[in-house]
Amino acid sequence: MPSSKAPAKTEQPPAGSAATATASANLADSVIRILLASDTHLGLNERDPIRKDDAKNTFEEIFRIAVEQRADMVLLTGNLFHENKPSRRAMQTAIEVLRNHCLGNGDVSLDILSDQGASFHGNYKSVNYEDPNYNVQLPVFAIHGDHDDPGGEGGLSALDLLASANLLNYFGKVPNTAHIALTPLLIRKGTTKLALYGMGHVNNDQLTRALERKEFNVARPSSDPETWFNVLALHQNRAKTSTGTAGAVKEALLPSCMDLVLWGHERECTLPSSVADAPVDPGVKFAVLQPGATVATELADAEAGKKCVALLQVCGDNYKFEPIELQTARPFVLREVVLASHADERELESEEGLAELLAEQVEDMLAEVHAKFPTTPLTAADENRQKYPLLRLKVDYTGFSTLNPQKFGARFVERVANPSSMLKFHRSNKGAKATKESAGGKEGGKRKMASELDEEALPSEVPQQIQGLVSEMLAGNTKDQLRLLPQRMLDAAVFEGFVGKEEKGAIQQQTDQWLEETRKKMQRRMAAEMARADGDAPNLSSRKDHEKLLEKIAQEEFEAAEAAATAEGVGTGAAGGRSSGAGPSGVGSAPAGRRPAA
């Protein structure tokens, strides 16, 4: 295995000796084998007659691989379910797969050394395989994602139900996003000691703010902290550049004491073939593994690559991993055609000519799929995937007209899994800008809003576009601006709670919470004003004076909240973001430095 620091020099026994065999056996007994998977999205497209079993088949394959690879544990980094309130069918699928593969008489070689009550939630605060009433042979550790995060009365997630049924170990809840504290699960196998940190999905801007303000506490093992291999599993938007992206988390802000970060939520699989091929970022001291989603959730560029899981092996200070391509992923081909490049050879002004060109492109894409699967499928599921691939043809129609995507897709109903959403018409930025200016520009006509709804948008994209429309409208210099409730509270109540999680009381709950926080702040401010020296104190001799002061304080609090939300969205700040803190039994404070991972 690749090493993260120089090994100590020891005298080697003769090759083939009993001592060599014993040493090799001891080394094998100290390797922790982890099957890493992310974003399984059980319940995705379950009403689609063709794609309804895609997520189920892939989820089952993940656990077949775990058994075949003799994994010590399975680690799921968020979005096990596609819906915050999964259907009975999706929940039954999860229960059946976990029961079939995780329960049995096999031995578990992982010892938990830390205070488990600090890591797990609910009434059962210990790993499931230590329960004498159950025979667990394959432990599953899971954090929640942005689709299956806790919410509603009691703050429960769908993962809480599976954990209460003793089918998996749910960890990584963050009860306070203003002051985040991570406590590790201390796992030992042989001589290998693994400190596993988990952080389920939290608001990206709130996390960035906590990291930048050093309000992010990482508890370290109190005994020989430098001998532990530190792994962080999280589920967040990942910044595409080192300078950061609004609504995303920069790697450089994460705790520098980590050796390895396992990144969930991102759909694209960026696993290199080996540790040696992994990209090196000079701004961070740890490596990042991003397995990507195991099933295509949207017809986007990030989904067009291979779907993989990873077998991660940790031994002492060393680790290695092996990407394993999933065989049950539905074939997906994405292509783009620019109509302007075919204008000289085709009659694209007519709908018939345009349809003919696009049909040829689709036929080429289908031929590409069939070339990848020349053999006869062995099962009905294999036949379904090969017969009905996913296709997305992006059409740049700048300077031309479009056609009806649903009508065009009807001719491929028996050959494609997504005929109605196969085409995606768009205009180049330059062409779209010119069209807007000719339609009215800044001086005339009704200006088109930047976040205006796209008629060909996928259903999953519509809520984000509506949120953008509302935000843009409220940000304008009109009478529709918010005066009491800040924008971030409105977004959390309406789009995250009421729409995203289907919580009927989300708007009332968020409003009451904000009003209560504002009332307490106003009381403290009023008390401070009253306590000021007589010469500096405002004139509060009448009720009207009190009302004016209260109105002033309320306006200042509102402006401060809006400014804080704006600052969170920008996400600027220095690299770092690690502070050490005390933890439960077996965990304590430790210095900030840590060796880099191989």
Which pLDDT tens digit goes with each residue over 2-31? Answer: 444 433 333 444 555 555 556 566 788 899
- Asked whether the predicted pLDDT for residue 71 surpasses 90, the reply is yes
CA 463 to chain centre: 18
Higher pLDDT, 521 or 419: 419
- Asked whether the predicted pLDDT for residue 583 surpasses 50, the reply is no
Please give the pLDDT value at position 502.
Answer: 66
Distance CA(95)–CA(328), nearest Å, equals: 20
- Asked whether the predicted pLDDT for residue 135 surpasses 90, the reply is yes
For range 113-120, the mean pLDDT: 89
Q: Which helix (H) or strand (E) holds 288?
A: strand 287-289
pLDDT band at 113 (very low <50, low <70, confident <90, very high): very high
- Asked whether the predicted pLDDT for residue 124 surpasses 80, the reply is yes
Q: Where does residue 164 rank: exposed (0-12), middle (13-18), buried (19+ CB within 10 A)?
A: middle
Q: List, in order, residues 6 or more apart from 171 with CB less than 8 Å away.
A: 119, 120, 121, 141, 142, 143, 185, 198
- The per-residue b/e assignment along 54-82, b for 16 or more CB within 10 angstroms, e otherwise, is bbbbbbbbbbebbbebebbbbbbbbbbbb
Token code pair at residue 465: 């576009």
Please give the pLDDT value at position 201.
Answer: 94
Please report where in the chains the tokens 């509270």 appear, as a residue: 489
* Most confidently modeled range among 6-20, 310-324, 575-589: 310-324
pLDDT band at 297 (very low <50, low <70, confident <90, very high): very high
Higher pLDDT, 565 or 263: 263
Distance CA(337)–CA(393), nearest Å, equals: 7
For range 105-132, the mean pLDDT: 90
Please give the pLDDT value at position 571.
Answer: 36
Q: List, in order, residues 6 or more apart from 395 with CB less than 8 Å away.
A: 336, 337, 339, 358, 402, 423, 424, 425, 426
Higher pLDDT, 244 or 283: 283
Which pLDDT tens digit goes with each residue over 179-220? Answer: 899 999 999 999 999 999 999 999 888 899 899 989 999 999
For range 125-131, the mean pLDDT: 92
Please give the pLDDT value at position 283.
Answer: 75
Distance CA(40)–CA(145), nearest Å, equals: 11
Please give the pLDDT value at position 24.
Answer: 63
For range 29-50, the mean pLDDT: 95
- Catalytic one among 101, 121, 147, 235? 147
Lowest mean pLDDT among 176-185, 358-367, 375-384: 375-384
Please give the pLDDT value at position 87.
Answer: 95
Please give the pLDDT value at position 103.
Answer: 95
Please give the pLDDT value at position 154.
Answer: 81
3-state helix, strand, coil in the chain (%, to 5): 35, 20, 45
pLDDT band at 566 (very low <50, low <70, confident <90, very high): low
Distance CA(384)–CA(211), nearest Å, equals: 46
For range 27-53, the mean pLDDT: 94
Domains in the chain and their CATH numbers?
A: 29-329+575-588 (3.60.21.10), 332-416+418-448 (3.30.110.110)
- Asked whether the predicted pLDDT for residue 44 surpasses 80, the reply is yes
The answer to whether residue 147 is catalytic is: yes
CA 430 to chain centre: 32
Residue 460: how many other CB atoms lie within 10 Å: 11
- Asked whether the predicted pLDDT for residue 1 surpasses 60, the reply is no
For range 262-291, the mean pLDDT: 86
Which pLDDT tens digit goes with each residue over 406-460? Answer: 999 999 999 999 999 999 999 887 655 544 444 444 434 333 444 445 544 555 5
- Asked whether the predicted pLDDT for residue 462 surpasses 90, the reply is no
Q: In sequence order, which ranges of 165-284 are alpha helices (DSSP H)?
A: 204-212
Please give the pLDDT value at position 243.
Answer: 62
Tell me the whole-structure pTM to 2 decimals.
0.75
Please give the pLDDT value at position 199.
Answer: 95
For range 44-68, the mean pLDDT: 96
- Asked whether the predicted pLDDT for residue 64 surpasses 70, the reply is yes
- Asked whether the predicted pLDDT for residue 303 surpasses 70, the reply is yes
pLDDT band at 508 (very low <50, low <70, confident <90, very high): confident
Instruction: Report in angstroms the alpha-carbon separations of 190 from 62, 111, 338, 428.
Output: 26, 9, 59, 58
pLDDT band at 355 (very low <50, low <70, confident <90, very high): very high
Lowest mean pLDDT among 23-32, 263-272, 289-298, 563-572: 563-572
pLDDT band at 482 (very low <50, low <70, confident <90, very high): low
* Most confidently modeled range among 42-51, 145-154, 588-597: 42-51
